[in-house]
Structure 1
Amino acid sequence: MITILETSPLNTVQDLGRPGYRNLGVGSSGVMDSLALQVGNILLDNDADAAGIELQTYPFALKFDEPLSFAVTGIDAAIELDGRMLLPWSVATAEAGQVLRIGQPRQGARGYICFSGGVDVPVILGSRSTQLRGGFGGLAGRFLEEGDILRARLGEMLTTGYAALPPSVALRFDAVEEKAGVISLRAIPATDYMLFTDTARERFWSCEWRITPQSNRVGYRLTGEKLELHQPVELRSYGIVPGIIQVPPAGEPIVQMADANTAGGYPRIATVIESDLWRLAQARIGSRIRFQKCSHEQGVAAMQPVEAYLESLRQMVARYSHSINRRQGGGKK
Structure 2
Amino acid sequence: MTDLLVKSCGPMTTLQDRGRLGFQGFGVSPSGAMDRRALAMANVLVGNAPETAAIEFMNLGGSFTCEGGDLHVALVGAGAAMSIDGTPVPPQTSAILKEGQVLDIGHPRTGTFAYLAIDGGFAVEPQLGSLSFHLRSRLGGLNGAALKAGDRLPCRGSGDEREPMQLVVQPPEDGGAIRVMLGPQDDYFPSETICLFLESDFTVSPQADRMGFQLTGPRLEHAKGFNIVSDGIVDGHIQVPGSGQPIVLMRDRQTAGGYPKIATVISADLGRFAQLRPGTTLRFRAVERAEALAAARGLKDWLAALPSQLTPVRFNLTTEHLLSRNLIGGTVDALASAPHE
TM-score by shorter chain over 0.5: yes
Match of 1:190 in 2: 183
After superposition, the C-alpha distances for 1:2-56 in whole angstroms (9 at most, x for unaligned) are 1101112111111110111011110001111111111112222212321110001
Q: Which amino acid aligns with 2:116?
A: I
Matched-pair contact (CA < 8 Å) for 1:52–1:114: yes
Greater Cα offset, 302-311 or 237-246: 302-311
2:180–2:266: 8 Å Cα contact kept in structure 1?
yes
Match of 1:12 in 2: 14
Q: 2:233, 2:25 → 1: CA distance?
A: 11
Q: Is the 8 A contact 2:165 2:312 kept in 1?
A: no
Counterpart in 1 of 2:211?
A: 218
Aligned match of 1:61: 63
Structure 2 Cα separation of the partners of residues 59 and 74 of structure 1: 12
In structure 1, runs of 5+ residues without a counterpart are: 179-183, 322-333
Pick from 32, 35, 49: which aligns with 2:34? 32
Q: Deviations over 1:291-319 (max 9, x none)?
A: 001011110101233123223222234x8
Moved more, 273-282 or 131-140: 131-140
Residue 269 of structure 1, CA deviation: 0.3
Alpha-carbon distance between aligned partners in 1 of 2:46 and 2:291, rounded to the nearest angstrom: 32
After TM superposition, list the pairs within 5 Å mapping 1:93-172 onto structure 2: 93-155=96-158, 156-167=160-171, 171-172=172-173
Amino acid at match of 1:16: R
Change (3 A) 1:313 1:76: same
The Cα offsets for residues 177-235 of structure 1, whole Å up to 9 and x where unpaired, read as x3xxxxx2100001211221122111101111111111110000001000011232531
Contact 1:4 1:62 in 2 (8 A): yes
| TM-superposed deviation, 1:131 | 1.9
> Aligned pair count?
309
Aligned mates of 1:305, 1:204 — CA distance in 2: 27
**TM-score, normalized by length of structure 1?**
0.89
- Say whether residues 1:240 and 2:233 are aligned partners: yes
Q: Which amino acid aligns with 1:10?
A: M
Q: Secondary structure at the match of 2:227?
A: coil
Tell me the distance in 1 between the aligned counterparts of 2:74 and 2:276.
21
CA contact (8 A) 1:15 1:31 kept: yes
Root mean square deviation of aligned Cα: 1.7
Is 1:80 the counterpart of 2:73 in the alignment? no
Pair 1:23-2:25 in alignment? yes
Aligned pairs for 1:203-282 (under 5 A) are 203-282=196-275
Higher alpha-carbon deviation: 48-57 or 241-250: 48-57
**Separation (CA, whole Å) in 1 of partners of 2:268 and 2:229:** 29
Identity within the alignment, %: 36
**Is 1:51 matched with 2:68?**
no
Three-state SS of the structure 2 residue aligned to 1:77 is: coil
Match of 1:330 in 2: none
Q: 1:77, 1:123 → 2: CA distance? A: 27
Question: Does the 8 Å CA contact 2:55/2:117 hold for their aligned counterparts?
Answer: yes
Q: Is the 8 A contact 2:63 2:103 kept in 1?
A: yes
CA distance in 1, matches of 2:288, 2:9: 42
Task: For 2:271 and 2:170, locate their aligned partners in 1 and report how far apart those are by CA, in whole Å.
Answer: 12
Q: Secondary structure at the match of 1:213?
A: strand
Indicate if the aligned counterparts of 2:76 and 2:116 stay in contact, CA closer than 8 A: yes
**Cα distance change on mapping 1:287 and 1:255 into 2, 3 Å:** same
**Structure 1 residue runs of 4+, over 4 Å off?**
none
Is 99-108 or 246-255 further displaced after alignment?
Answer: 99-108
Whole-Å separation in 1 of the counterparts to 2:74 and 2:88: 13
C-alpha distance 157-290 of structure 1, shift in aligned 2 (>3 A): farther
Rounded Cα–Cα distance in structure 2 between residues aligned with 1:198 and 1:124: 45
* Correspondence for 1:294 among 276, 287, 295: 287
When residues 40 and 157 of structure 1 are mapped into structure 2, their CA distance, relative to the original with a 3 A threshold, is farther
Secondary structure class of the residue paired with 1:127 = coil
Question: Are the counterparts in 2 of residues 235 and 267 from structure 1 also a CA contact under 8 Å?
Answer: yes
CA distance in 2, matches of 1:145, 1:7: 6
The reply on whether 1:316 has 2:309 as its aligned counterpart is yes
> Do the aligned partners of 1:164 and 1:313 also contact (CA within 8 Å) in 2?
no
Residue 173 of structure 2 aligns to which amino acid in structure 1?
R
Q: Which has the larger radius of gyration?
A: 2
TM-score of the superposition, structure 2-length normalised?
Answer: 0.87
